[in-house]
């Protein structure tokens, strides 16, 4: 039976009143302006749980495109991360899928981030 265990909402906002003028700032003016994260944890069946994280980010500033050498403003983006896990008192087995929908986006410094990636693991408590 599907049972929601936790719903979490976080929001961060930063406003900076500073003008770069003619300078190109790699750190000071390229800050994370808005970030919203909605997390949901629910039980699927007995010891099997699912975590969902829905993340929206909007970064201030711009970056120089490596190929065109043109300045490009950061675009807001939306990501979905999930974790499926089974656990008992001693062992947890999990599988994560980050950037589930394979969103292409540039984050700090204009670096294109990796697409979807999956990892699995086992944690044993001794």
Q: Where are the beta strands (DSSP E) in the chain?
A: 3-13, 32-45, 48-59, 62-64, 71-73, 77-87, 91-98, 106-107, 111-112, 117-124
Other CB atoms within 10 Å distance of the CB of residue 81: 17
First to last CA, the chain: 30
Q: Residues 85-106: pLDDT tens digits?
A: 999 989 999 999 999 999 998 8
Instruction: Decide if 76 contacts 60 (C-beta within 8 A).
Output: no
pLDDT (average), residues 47-62: 93
Mean pLDDT, the chain, as a whole number?
88
């Amino acid at each position: 039976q599907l049972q929601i265990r936790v719903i979490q909402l976080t929001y961060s906002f930063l406003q900076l009143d500073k003008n770069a003028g003619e300078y190109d700032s790699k750190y000071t003016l390229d800050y994370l302006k808005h970030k919203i994260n909605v997390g949901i944890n629910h039980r699927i069946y007995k010891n099997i749980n699912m975590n969902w994280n829905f993340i929206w980010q909007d970064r201030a500033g711009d970056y120089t495109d490596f190929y065109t050498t043109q300045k490009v403003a950061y675009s807001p983006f939306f990501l979905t991360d999930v974790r499926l896990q089974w656990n008992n008192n001693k062992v947890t087995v999990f599988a994560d899928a980050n950037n589930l929908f394979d969103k292409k986006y540039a984050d700090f410094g204009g670096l294109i981030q990796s697409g979807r990636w999956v990892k699995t693991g086992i944690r044993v408590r001794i």
